[in-house]
């Protein structure tokens, strides 16, 4: 203030000086703030988003995909290691790279087929001669299937064994397993089951309970090929699965490295004995193609099965073959020779330092490993990620952009074996994820079948996905335009098209696109449950924009999934010719990423949980109320808690609406952002699901009962009604307490942090 | 910049204007920052601390104590409820109150003696007549002991029962239990044990293992009275315990409401059946005074015990009485008639909203309930807390002060029954504690015996306690002066006096006062372990500044502890006449509080964990290395992790030293503060100690083995060497992994948050 006093002492000509002073002081004052004040209030730049979207290039995505899917690259193979180097070099490129890049290695427990001793399913006559052996490899319909590194069909971690009459002391006949357990005696049989519905290993675990001694699993053309089983109708003539195609897969319930639960699989880490691994069946299992399955199923005796597939014969249940068949009086054998081994698997991590909130992370990831060439799964997602990092990396290196928050990119290893790379990452980086990560975006299979966006996440993610899907790039962009390209309908935004295809009537918003709220979440599981509280939002893009209209197919997934036919040729001919759907996914996912990384206020809608909570409550009231009353358990406190949540989230929404730059300090704004970031954590409880590896989110744990409400409560209620024991009714009350406390905690997180 | 351009266009007289502009723009620019910019950089005001310390008034503390200890006020009694109202009214006072005040109620499981059916220990002749019955109540040495509401001596939750010959079918003889289990047969005996060492209930749980059927517990004058047992040597003539004094207490291992583990004891909460409560012995137990104990012990037969107390006779082990005694051929009876009940207990909470970081909390608390009058335990601490809130509340209401961070004060209920009020609070406020609380300060027994400060906490708290204890108020303050008042030595600071009495040689700092790092932490347990990750620092003041020099007493605690003699009369005559020691505690604790609430950078020393970690490592290497090598378990990764922690903490220390106001944005400063706040959480692991209620801090869980290293590792090693099974050696490796991962996580939290 000394200058002011000096100036004030000058009378006379000082008037002009005074005017100058006033102008200089008040008129130019904004520029005298420290530079960081300006930076603090730099909000999301919509023009930058459009620029980003314009620069996303479908040709480059195509070239990415070609490079990524050139060779079979199962986890830890040389081809997988080559892709590690490819991604490292892209992210370290001085022109388009990120701030910091590194690879993280874990020694993880894997399982591979023995190439010298191929797994198979056989039919053996009583004299020991073989009348049928399943194919060791898919038919070479293009050059891709001739690649020497193709992994033979198998189920990773499936127990070894040869199930024969000698080993079991009984005659292992074949039975078709279609919810038949209660009508035919399965004891001592080998069951053949189709893919679809519950997970692979769960089919075997269930079958085991009925005495089944081995499981054969196949893909029925009815579920994947719209009924078509003629070779001429399938790839390379169409997108349908050829008769020799076999879906490979992991055969375990739990995710992450199985020898190091809860801890990163480092050299120092204690490894449990293999015998203590849980969530794997005890009986051998092997997948086969529908060509092979047809021979087995169409020769079965027994009565007609309640479910009929598309193999061109009547499906009987067995057990055993009809007397007139080639296989009569024969045994079925499953021969599994898998080799379990510990191998070094890499994650590749890339980091962009945030300008304003460097200790807040937005994550974006996908896995890198495939079962065979993996053009669609996972390379379509990686091709998209590399295009996003190319465009953003260039802006960064040119000094034209730096996100408000830090961004972490991850290329995960060994996902196909059960989300291993990302789980080990979450275990190692637990404290950073728990304390600093606001959201996780996963784009695995970027494009596969339907004609619309498909997004998955927890309810607060809905608003940012909607915002991104509504974005139009501008009139000067001619291809894709961030708009859906469906023959005959070229003018819709992603949002409108999505709403046309999949929608729901929201009590709060009216008709809106249907988001999937973490049903069967994949990466969600990792981020939600690992280490018990490391919980972030997940945004997932799949099933997007193909020429194949979902209305014209009933395929449960794209037909070449996990087979030797998931190749660049297949992807570029039948999934996304021209790669404009990939481009739109890259634009939309990148848009979501930028909104999360650059917005002053995190674009997450805490209020959007209300609908789900009320649905959960209504279901519980509708289904449970009578019996709960009988046992003197009240649902009222749950209703009270949900109302508290509703009020808290609406108040927070108002607070956010009223936040004015000049009125609120950076720490006040951070306070609100932290409430949004920490919301999901408040719903977790590491003691809610004892003995269930990693599950801690009270709303999103999986459930086995059919009640669409809090999973712990739903399952406890199911059990109590079955057993009707005092103990089990106590467990219902216990689980209700857990649900109430979780909602109360979430409400408390959203309420004014400046009060008790 | 428009104004600038306009000004630039005016030539001629514009020169003066230009000068004005320049001056106005550059010379006065600092004042043009928004007000919050100034507030953001307002650091701790040392002058305010001195002002606070000056205003802390010993007379008011004395009056607080008189009001708080006027009546016996066991948890949930009318007198306890009256104190709830007293605290509410103080904190709601318009002149000296806080911003927000409320009471929180929980329905908690308690245990009381039956006043119509007093517990007792008796000796019964074979004809059924009684030759001895322990006193139902302490002798009325002052009017205080005549109060009608005094609770009879008992152990809360001790199982009911009358242990007699009829009930047990054997002759329950008395045995003296002094680590004798291996030398005499305790089966079927009643044991008499003294207080001290392990907890009350653990004595009974241990005794039970040897077949003991009931436990009598007494206070030996050797441990509490420096050997003096003559009534004339004790209160009201001195601070020593009178012969009739009985220490009451809780008789359970676990803390918190026992029917609602992990959840607040609200109306909606599921309550486990009493039969499922763990951590209580199955055998009855009753405390008695040493006057009564003398009759029993001095008549015991058997050989001379290896430990001899101060009851004026030779202590024999028993079992049984000498034939020449009154009690020969008699049985000993324990009669316990405790009543278990659920009652409503209140916490009182007070809140001061932070000016800059309102969503960061510094907590300060103490319990309110006592066993009898509770002048020292806990009212000395509450008297101090009310004086701190009076001085700060006045400054607040006068508009002279508002802390940077929010402050939460808590007056906890039902602590004596096992930390119930604070545990239920932590369970209910779990998410707020986990995400926003930087430190918790607990001052329970503020003054009791020694001539020095005694502080307890985790290592990062050391620096702020040292800083506060070094503070001098100034020359114009004449009483206490924030300086120790020991006869003949009036010039020392709290710090210097502390160092004179209790010190250690630190490799980093040289000779410094000895802080207790959470040994036997009380409130630490609550904050550290509740809900599995809600972990904050604890600063604890006890044992401070009395006229009784610790060098002249070997009392394990102040002699009137938990008896009917812990009264205002006792406190004001023998513990702190003039209340200047209370005053110094209030000054020091308030000083710590203000440093935590007002400093821009949290005054917590992350580097101060290094010494402890290195000590832990060295102990593990020294004790375990040979056997670990045999089992191929390497300690090297632990060393690596500790070195990583050391580097990270030193780098952070440098970063903090280099932080300059103008260079760093508020969010950068917050980043560092969050690293400090979240450090303790990074050491927790909710799966580290399965089946151990609430324990999750990998460094601070209790251990049963004697190795001074990571408690999980220490106990696992102990067990493995005893059993030498493969499984138990696996558990050692598992626990070592947990320790390594915890240190790695803590290092990761401290490392640059702006990197991967």
Of residues A547 and A306, more confidence is placed in A306
| A546 pLDDT more than 50 | no
| Chain A residues within 8 A of B262 when measuring between CB atoms | 687
The whole-number pLDDT of residue B555 equals 84
| B521 pLDDT more than 70 | no
Nearest CA in chain A to B264: A741
| Residue A365: its H or E element | strand A357-367
Q: How confident is the model at residue B515 (pLDDT cuts 50, 70, 90)?
A: confident
CA distance A106 to chain B (A): 14
Q: Tokens 């969530």 sit at which residue? A: A279
**String of DSSP letters for B250-284:** E--SS-S-TTSTTS---TT-----GGG--S--SS-
- What is the token pair recorded at B360? 């960061």
pLDDT digits (tens, 9 = 90+) for A629-680: 999 999 999 999 999 999 999 999 999 988 865 567 889 899 999 999 999 8
Q: Tell me the CATH number for domain B46-103+342-547+577-598.
A: 3.40.630.10
- Percent of chain A surpassing pLDDT 70: 85
Give catalytic residue positions of B: 415
| B86 pLDDT more than 70 | yes
Among the residue ranges B318-327, B347-356, B721-730, the one predicted with the least confidence is B318-327
- What is the token pair recorded at A547? 């020429």
**Does domain A46-104+344-469+518-598 match CATH 3.50.50.60?**
no
Nearest CA in chain B to A426: B745
Phi/psi zone of residue A632: left (φ > 0), alpha (ψ -120 to 50 degrees), beta?
Answer: left
Query: How much is the average pLDDT of B555-578?
Result: 93
Query: How much is the average pLDDT of B52-60?
Result: 94
DSSP A532: G
| A479 pLDDT more than 70 | no
Q: Where in chain B is the domain with CATH 3.50.30.30?
A: 114-337
DSSP A100: E
The whole-number pLDDT of residue A519 equals 52
Q: How confident is the model at residue B518 (pLDDT cuts 50, 70, 90)?
A: low
Query: How much is the average pLDDT of B558-586?
Result: 93
- A253 has catalytic annotation: no
pLDDT digits (tens, 9 = 90+) for B115-156: 999 999 999 888 889 999 999 999 999 999 999 999 999 999
Strands B161-163 and B405-412, by their bridges, are unpaired
Biggest CA–CA distance in chain B, Å, is 124
Q: Which of A32, A432, A734 lies at the smallest CB-CB distance from B32? A: A32
Among the residue ranges B45-59, B648-662, B716-730, the one predicted with the least confidence is B648-662
The whole-number pLDDT of residue A494 equals 86
Q: How confident is the model at residue A158 (pLDDT cuts 50, 70, 90)?
A: very high
Q: Where in chain A is the domain with CATH 3.40.630.10?
A: 46-104+344-469+518-598
| Chain A residues within 8 A of B740 when measuring between CB atoms | 268
Q: Where in chain A is the domain with CATH 1.20.930.40?
A: 606-750
Q: How confident is the model at residue A440 (pLDDT cuts 50, 70, 90)?
A: confident
- What is the token pair recorded at B255? 């803390």
Q: B114-337: which CATH topology?
A: Glucose Oxidase; domain 1 (3.50.30)
Distance, in Å, from the CA atom of A283 to the CA atom of B400, rounded to the nearest integer, reads 75
Distance, in Å, from the CA atom of A657 to the CA atom of B144, rounded to the nearest integer, reads 61
Among the residue ranges A682-686, B231-235, B410-414, the one predicted with the least confidence is A682-686
Q: Do A749 and B100 touch (CB under 8 A)?
A: no
Give phi and psi for B367, each to the nearest 5.
Answer: -85, 165
- Percent of chain B surpassing pLDDT 70: 85
| Chain A residues within 8 A of B359 when measuring between CB atoms | 671, 674, 753-754
Q: Do A37 and B34 touch (CB under 8 A)?
A: yes
* Torsion of Cα atoms, A148 then A154 then A157 then A162, to 10°: -120
Distance, in Å, from the CA atom of B360 to the CA atom of B602, rounded to the nearest integer, reads 11
| Residue B293: its H or E element | helix B290-297
Q: How confident is the model at residue A520 (pLDDT cuts 50, 70, 90)?
A: very low
Please, what's the b/e burial string for B231-265 (b: 16 or more CB within 10 A of its CB; e: otherwise)?
eeebbeebbbbbbbbbbbbbbbbbbbbbbbbbbbb
Query: What are A341's strand-pairing partners?
Result: A110
The whole-number pLDDT of residue A661 equals 55
Interface size A-B, in CB pairs within 8 Å, comes to 243
Q: Which of A16, A36, A734 lies at the smallest CB-CB distance from B665? A: A36
Distance, in Å, from the CA atom of B230 to the CA atom of B251, rounded to the nearest integer, reads 29
Of residues A187 and B293, more confidence is placed in B293
Q: Where in chain B is the domain with CATH 3.40.630.10?
A: 46-103+342-547+577-598
Nearest CA in chain A to B262: A687
Query: How much is the average pLDDT of B622-651?
Result: 97
> Which distant-in-sequence residues (6+ apart) come within 8 Å of B293 by Cβ?
B192, B216, B218, B220, B311
Classify residue B688 by burial, with Cβ atoms within 10 Å: 0-12, 13-18, 19+. buried
The whole-number pLDDT of residue B345 equals 98
**String of DSSP letters for B680-692:** HHHTB-TTSSTTS
| Chain B residues within 8 A of A270 when measuring between CB atoms | 730, 733-734, 736-737
| B248 pLDDT more than 90 | yes
Of residues B654 and A548, more confidence is placed in B654
Nearest CA in chain A to B271: A734
Query: How much is the average pLDDT of B274-287?
Result: 93
The whole-number pLDDT of residue B29 equals 43
| B176 pLDDT more than 70 | yes
Of residues A25 and A303, more confidence is placed in A303
pLDDT digits (tens, 9 = 90+) for B389-399: 999 999 999 99
- What is the pLDDT of chain A when averaged over all its residues? 86
Q: Tell me the CATH number for domain B606-750.
A: 1.20.930.40
Among the residue ranges A552-561, A715-724, B104-113, the one predicted with the least confidence is A552-561
Q: Do A33 and B36 touch (CB under 8 A)?
A: no
| Chain B residues within 8 A of A736 when measuring between CB atoms | 268, 270
Nearest CA in chain B to A693: B687
Q: Tokens 């066993």 sit at which residue? A: B371
Among the residue ranges A119-123, A282-286, A447-451, B719-723, the one predicted with the least confidence is A447-451
Mutation site for B-interface testing, chosen from A270, A347, A355, A689 by largest number of B Cβ within 10 Å: A270
The whole-number pLDDT of residue B171 equals 57
| Chain B residues within 8 A of A27 when measuring between CB atoms | 3
Q: Which of A32, A674, A678 lies at the smallest CB-CB distance from B25? A: A32
In B242-397, at which residue ranges do the beta strands (DSSP E only) sit?
249-250, 285-288, 331-336, 339-352, 357-367
Distance, in Å, from the CA atom of A28 to the CA atom of B56, rounded to the nearest integer, reads 47
Distance, in Å, from the CA atom of B571 to the CA atom of B581, rounded to the nearest integer, reads 11
Q: How confident is the model at residue B534 (pLDDT cuts 50, 70, 90)?
A: very low
| A599 pLDDT more than 80 | yes
């Amino acid at each position: 203030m000394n200058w002011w006093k000096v100036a004030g002492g000058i009378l006379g000509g000082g008037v002009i000086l005074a005017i100058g002073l006033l102008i200089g002081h008040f008129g130019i004052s904004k520029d005298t703030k420290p530079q960081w004040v300006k930076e603090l209030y730099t909000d999301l730049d919509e023009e930058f988003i459009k620029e980003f979207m314009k620069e996303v290039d479908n040709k480059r995505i195509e070239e990415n995909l070609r490079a990524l899917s050139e060779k079979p690259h199962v986890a830890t193979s040389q081809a997988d290691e080559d892709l590690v180097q490819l991604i490292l070099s892209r992210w370290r490129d001085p022109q388009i790279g990120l701030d910091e890049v590194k690879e993280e290695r874990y020694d993880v427990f894997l399982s591979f087929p023995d190439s010298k001793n191929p797994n198979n399913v056989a039919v053996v006559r009583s004299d020991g001669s073989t009348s049928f052996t399943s194919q060791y490899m898919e038919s070479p319909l293009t050059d891709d299937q001739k690649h020497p590194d193709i992994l033979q069909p198998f189920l990773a971690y499936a127990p070894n064994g040869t199930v024969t009459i000698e080993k079991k002391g009984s005659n292992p006949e074949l039975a078709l397993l279609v919810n038949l357990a209660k009508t035919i005696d399965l004891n001592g049989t080998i069951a053949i089951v189709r893919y679809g519905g519950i997970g692979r290993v769960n089919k075997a675990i269930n079958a085991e309970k009925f005495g089944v001694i081995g499981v054969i699993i196949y893909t029925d053309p009815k579920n994947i090929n719209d009924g078509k089983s003629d070779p001429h109708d399938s790839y390379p003539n169409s997108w349908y699965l050829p008769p020799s195609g076999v879906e490979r897969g992991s055969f375990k319930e739990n995710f992450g490295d199985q020898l190091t639960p809860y801890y990163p699989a480092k050299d120092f880490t204690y490894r449990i004995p293999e015998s203590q691994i849980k969530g794997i069946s005890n009986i051998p299992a092997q997948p086969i193609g529908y060509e092979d399955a047809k021979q087995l199923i169409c020769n079965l005796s027994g009565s007609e099965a309640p479910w009929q597939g598309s193999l061109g014969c009547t499906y009987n249940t067995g057990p055993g073959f009809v007397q007139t068949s080639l296989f009569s009086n024969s045994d079925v054998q499953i021969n599994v020779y898998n080799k379990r081994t510990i191998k070094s698997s890499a994650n590749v991590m890339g980091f962009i330092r945030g300008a304003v909130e460097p200790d807040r992370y937005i994550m974006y990831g996908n896995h890198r490993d495939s079962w065979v060439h993996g053009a669609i799964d996972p390379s379509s997602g990686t091709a998209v990620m590399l295009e996003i990092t190319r465009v953003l990396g260039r802006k960064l290196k040119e000094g034209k952009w730096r996100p408000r928050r830090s961004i972490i990119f991850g290329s995960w290893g060994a996902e196909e074996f059960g989300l291993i790379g990302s789980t080990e990452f979450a275990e190692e980086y637990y404290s950073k994820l728990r304390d600093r990560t606001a959201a996780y975006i996963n784009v695995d299979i970027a494009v596969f079948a339907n004609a619309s966006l498909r997004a998955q996440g927890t309810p607060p993610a809905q608003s940012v996905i909607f915002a991104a899907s509504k974005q139009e790039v501008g009139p000067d962009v001619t291809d894709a335009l961030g708009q859906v390209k469906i023959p005959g309908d070229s003018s819709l935004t992603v949002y409108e098209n999505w709403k046309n295809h999949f929608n729901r009537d929201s009590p709060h918003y009216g008709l809106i696109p249907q988001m999937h709220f973490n049903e069967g979440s994949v990466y969600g599981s990792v981020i939600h449950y690992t280490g018990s509280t490391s919980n972030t939002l997940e945004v997932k893009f799949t099933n997007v924009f193909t020429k194949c209209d979902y209305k014209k197919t009933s395929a449960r997934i794209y037909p070449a999934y996990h087979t030797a036919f998931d190749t660049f040729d297949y992807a570029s001919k039948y999934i996304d010719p021209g790669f404009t759907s990939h481009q739109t996914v890259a634009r939309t996912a990148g848009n979501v990423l930028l909104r999360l990384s650059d917005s002053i206020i995190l674009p997450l809608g805490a209020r959007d949980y209300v609908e789900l909570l009320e649905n959960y409550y209504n279901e519980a009231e509708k289904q449970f109320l009578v019996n709960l009353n009988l046992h003197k358990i009240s649902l009222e406190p749950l209703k009270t808690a949900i109302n508290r949540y509703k009020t808290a989230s609406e108040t927070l929404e108002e607070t956010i609406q009223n936040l004015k730059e000049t009125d609120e300090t950076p720490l006040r704004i951070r306070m609100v952002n932290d409430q949004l970031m920490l919301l999901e954590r408040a719903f977790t409880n590491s003691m809610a699901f004892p003995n269930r590896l990693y599950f801690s989110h009270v709303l999103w744990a999986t459930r086995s009962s059919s009640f669409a409400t809090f999973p712990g409560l739903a399952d406890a209620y199911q059990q109590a009604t079955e057993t009707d024991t005092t103990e089990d009714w106590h467990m219902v009350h216990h689980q209700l307490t857990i649900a109430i406390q979780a909602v109360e905690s979430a409400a408390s997180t959203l309420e004014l942090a400046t009060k008790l």
